[in-house]
Amino acid sequence: MQFQQLMPVGYMKQPTLKTFVIAKIKKENTEKCIKLYKQKYHQYFYQHDYLKLIKQGQEKDYVLMLFCFPEDLDKMKLDFEVEQFFEIQLPSIAPINKEQKQIYDEYWNILHPNYEYPHKQNKDAPLKMQQILDTKQTRNKCILYNDENDIIIEAEDETHINNVRHCVMVAMEKLAEHNKNQNNQKHFRETQYYAREMTLVTYFEPCIMCSMALIHSRIKEVYYYQKRVVDGGLNDQLQINNMKQLNHKYLVFYQH
């Protein structure tokens, strides 16, 4: 059984571009400008911290500085001694591998410490999926196992009890119970997060709700067999596992 990885949007493609305002600054003013900029606007580009602040201009006496978004120019420009402002298009998200960094570097100098998107697949996932396929309850079932390949939780849909009791939600509930047991108390206290270093194998793509629950659990990887027609949370359109705004990410693989 082969799984394909759900790669972050834009992987190995030309970047989607966004308009930024660039300031052309006399070289002798560079240090002053950077200092002021960092004092007043150090948070401004927090989602674009892969873009270097300064770049050598084509004219040797000038440097170019990443300055702001067009809508903020009027309120920000008065603070600085700038020769000229102009708009350019720059990659709107960080590169995720070396090849992509090279492409992005042609737009602007890119700073990005870890390019390689992790892609190593869990050797046991095909076996666990086969185990699900071999049961009667295949379509409603999921298995959660740890980094030693021990199955920790098996769960099935309980939507006959309640509409939101999808198998992943049931698994999370069972896992919380499991972690509270006396024997596992230490593990629970040390990790805090239920599913850290665990892998989930499930027949159906987790829905949006379950994908979020998996974020909270700090799961490591998710494997699924069948895409959902509606409300799926882990597909090319909606990659909840890769959302930049959320404080945890996990890898997703699916049967192609």
* Least distance to Zn ion, CB of residue 232, Å: 9
Question: Which residue number, 166 or 218, has a Cβ lying nearer to Zn ion?
Answer: 166
Reduced to 3 states (helix: H, G, I; strand: E, B; else coil), residue 223 is strand
* Least distance to Zn ion, CB of residue 139, Å: 13
Between CA 189 and CA 66 the distance in angstroms is 45
User: Partners of 252 in the beta sheet?
Assistant: 222
Type of residue numbered 186: K
Strand pairing category for 221-226 and 199-204: parallel
Question: Which residue number, 128 or 166, has a Cβ lying nearer to Zn ion?
Answer: 166
Q: Interface mask (CB under 5 A) for Zn ion, residues 143-182, using x and -?
A: -----------------------x----------------
Between CA 154 and CA 29 the distance in angstroms is 63
Query: Contact region for Zn ion (CB under 5 A) — 44-52, 81-89, 203-211, 235-243?
Result: 203-211
Query: Contact region for Zn ion (CB under 5 A) — 33-41, 57-65, 209-217, 236-244?
Result: 209-217
Type of residue numbered 47: Q
By CB under 5 A, name the one of 33, 68, 129, 210 that touches Zn ion.
210
Q: With contact defined as beta carbons under 8 Å apart, do 108 and 52 qualify?
A: yes
Q: Is 214 in the site for Zn ion (CB under 5 A)?
A: no
Between CA 66 and CA 2 the distance in angstroms is 44
| Residue that the structure tokens 């892609």 belong to | 119
* Least distance to Zn ion, CB of residue 228, Å: 9
CB atoms within 10 A of CB 246: 12
By CB under 5 A, name the one of 207, 234, 240, 251 that touches Zn ion.
207
Q: Which residues are at the interface with Zn ion (CB under 5 A)?
A: 166, 207, 210
